[in-house]
């Protein structure tokens, strides 16, 4: 395995001193080392991977040095536009080192949402004419690959990608593990949301821990799963799925259970919701200030006012809650909001603690089974 410090020092030796991207579970040990080691001016966790390419390009224009952009392969889609219309040799010819976690690598067990992405990761890089290497876990071999990568980047003045397999990096535990003060865990908050939901409610939950916890709570309470659409991938898009349902099914109360990192990833979605003003939609963001499912690196959510953003985007009401009592009151108001046109849609930010219980399971139904059961309910 590659020690994160060793890899970081290799990059520094080659002139890279700026790092940006979106954390990934396969890169979490290296990302954690960056978070602990590199100052805030030289390591920025971006809102999404496309933003990271733009940010890194700006750094190159200002410094003439090669930045590193890291991401999970699921985020590669977010980078296609800036990689092809900004960084490509035929446009601005921006030298970048990309580091891509290879979830869903063929032959390696992974979750359903990663399988297709894993199959096409290298093909996507080929299609974009981005040269790449699958990073070796042996440090001596990796050092040779890094040297070749920088040689290629400088010769082409264009991006080069390192594709990173599972268990490539040696373990490293994040030391700067700040958390938002909170009374509730995320799972406790979701349990409250379920308990206070009206009988006509359907749920759209974001990717990561939230969907897993919603599924487990249904199991615990011996409730059916057909009211829940579990967005196991597509980070940042749960709120738009919920909006699409809310606009077509006015007889349902559509509750979106979002995460802070997911909401920030495509924050512009709030403007569409606020403009459409669905009376039957409640948008809930569980804010623990962290990318919890991929290593716990911080998001920007603890430093911005999500409720003010929601209100500016046209939400009828927006409230931030910290306690179970505050949450119960907010949910009661949210259910009553459709009776007052100027009070919808509703935005609730819930401050929750980081982490999840170690025995948290995963859904046992497939995404297709989840979709079919959910659609059947909507047709009733």
pLDDT in tens, 99-124: 999 999 999 999 888 999 999 999 99
Q: pLDDT tens digit string along 208-232?
A: 899 999 999 999 999 999 999 999 8
12-28 per-position pLDDT tens digit: 999 999 999 999 999 99
Lowest mean pLDDT across 120-129, 191-200, 327-336 = 327-336
Instruction: Give the separation between CA 356 and CA 309, rounded to whole angstroms.
Output: 28
Using the predicted structure, report yes or no on whether residue 311 has a pLDDT greater than 70: yes
Q: Work out the pLDDT band at 320, boundaries 50, 70, 90.
A: very high
309, pLDDT greater than 90: yes
Per-residue pLDDT at 340: 57
Which of 238, 246, 213 shows the shortest CA–CA distance to 361? 213
25 vs 65, which has greater pLDDT? 65
Instruction: Give percent above pLDDT 90 in the chain.
Output: 84
Fold of domain 4-164 = Rossmann fold (3.40.50)
Which pLDDT score, from 0 to 100, does residue 338 have? 54
Task: Give the whole-angstrom CA distance, residue 103 versus residue 109.
Answer: 9
336 or 284, which is more confident?
284
Mean pLDDT computed over 319-324: 95
- Does residue 176 have a pLDDT over 80? no
8 Å CB contact between 232 and 112? yes
Do 4-164 and 186-379 share a fold?
A: yes
Task: Report residue 160 as tokens.
Answer: 């080069």
- The answer, yes or no, to whether residue 178 has pLDDT greater than 80, is no
Say yes or no to pLDDT of 62 above 90: yes
Segment 325-344 mean pLDDT: 80
195 versus 293: which is more confidently predicted? 195
Of 378 and 208, the one with more pLDDT? 378
Res 289: pLDDT: 86
The crossing angle, in degrees rounded to 10, of helices 186-196 and 209-220 is 60
Q: What is the pLDDT of residue 78?
A: 95
CATH for the stretch 186-379: 3.40.50.970
Q: What is the mean pLDDT of residues 133-145?
A: 97
Conformational region of residue 133, where left means phi above 0, alpha means psi within -120 to 50, and beta covers everything else: beta
pLDDT at 179: 65
Q: Is the pLDDT of residue 270 over 70?
A: yes
Nearest CA to 216 among 370, 360, 110? Answer: 360
Distance CA 112, CA 230 (A): 12
Q: Please, which pLDDT band fits residue 293 given cuts at 50, 70 and 90?
A: confident
* 138 has pLDDT over 80: yes
Q: Does residue 32 carry a pLDDT above 80?
A: yes
Give me the mean pLDDT over the 156-164 stretch: 98
List the alpha helices (DSSP H) in the chain: 4-13, 28-37, 49-63, 76-82, 112-127, 139-156, 186-196, 209-220, 238-248, 260-265, 269-276, 306-312, 324-336, 367-379
Reply yes or no on whether the pLDDT at 196 is more than 90. Answer: yes
Res 292: pLDDT:
78
> Rounded mean pLDDT of 242-271?
96
Residue 21 DSSP SS3: strand
| Mean pLDDT taken over the chain | 94
pLDDT score, position 341: 58
Domain boundaries, the chain: 4-164, 186-379
82-93 burial, b at 16+ Cβ within 10 Å, e below that, comes to bbeebbbeeeee
Q: What is the pLDDT of residue 175?
A: 86
Identify the band that residue 295 occupies on the pLDDT scale cut at 50, 70 and 90: confident
What is the mean predicted confidence (pLDDT) over 169-184?
82
């Amino acid at each position: 395995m590659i020690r994160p410090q060793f890899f970081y020092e290799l990059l520094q030796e080659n002139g890279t001193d700026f790092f940006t991207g979106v954390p990934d579970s396969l890169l979490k040990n290296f990302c954690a080392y960056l978070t602990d080691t590199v100052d805030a001016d030289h390591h920025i966790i971006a809102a999404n991977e496309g933003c990271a390419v733009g940010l890194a390009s700006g750094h190159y224009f200002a410094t003439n040095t090669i930045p590193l952009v890291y991401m999970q392969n699921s985020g590669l889609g977010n980078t296609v536009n800036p990689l092809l219309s900004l960084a490509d040799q035929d446009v601005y010819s921006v030298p970048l080192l990309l580091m891509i976690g290879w979830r869903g690598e063929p032959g390696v067990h992974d979750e359903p949402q990663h399988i297709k992405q894993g199959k096409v990761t290298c093909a996507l890089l080929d299609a974009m004419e981005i040269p790449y290497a699958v990073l070796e876990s042996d440090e001596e071999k990796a050092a040779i690959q890094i040297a070749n990568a920088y040689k290629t980047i400088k010769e082409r003045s264009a991006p080069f990608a390192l594709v990173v397999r599972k268990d490539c990096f040696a373990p490293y535990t994040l030391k700067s593990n700040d958390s938002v003060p909170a009374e509730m865990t995320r799972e406790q908050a979701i349990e409250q949301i379920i308990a206070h939901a009206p009988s006509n409610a359907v749920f759209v939950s974001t990717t990561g821990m939230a969907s897993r916890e919603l599924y487990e709570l249904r199991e615990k309470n011996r409730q059916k799963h057909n009211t829940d659409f579990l967005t196991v991938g597509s980070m940042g898009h749960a709120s738009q799925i919920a909006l699409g349902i809310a606009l077509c099914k006015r007889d349902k109360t559509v509750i979106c259970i979002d995460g802070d990192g997911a909401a920030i990833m495509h924050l512009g979605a709030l403007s569409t919701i606020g403009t459409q003003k669905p009376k039957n939609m409640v948008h809930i963001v569980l804010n623990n200030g962290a990318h919890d499912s991929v290593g716990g690196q911080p998001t920007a959510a603890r430093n911005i006012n999500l409720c003010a953003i929601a209100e500016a985007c046209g939400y009828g009401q927006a409230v931030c809650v910290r306690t179970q009592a505050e949450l119960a009151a907010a949910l009661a108001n949210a259910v009553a909001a459709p009776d007052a046109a100027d009070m919808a849609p509703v935005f609730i930010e819930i401050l929750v603690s980081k982490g999840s219980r170690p025995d948290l399971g995963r859904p046992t139904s497939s995404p297709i089974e989840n979709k079919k059961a959910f659609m059947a309910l909507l047709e009733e």
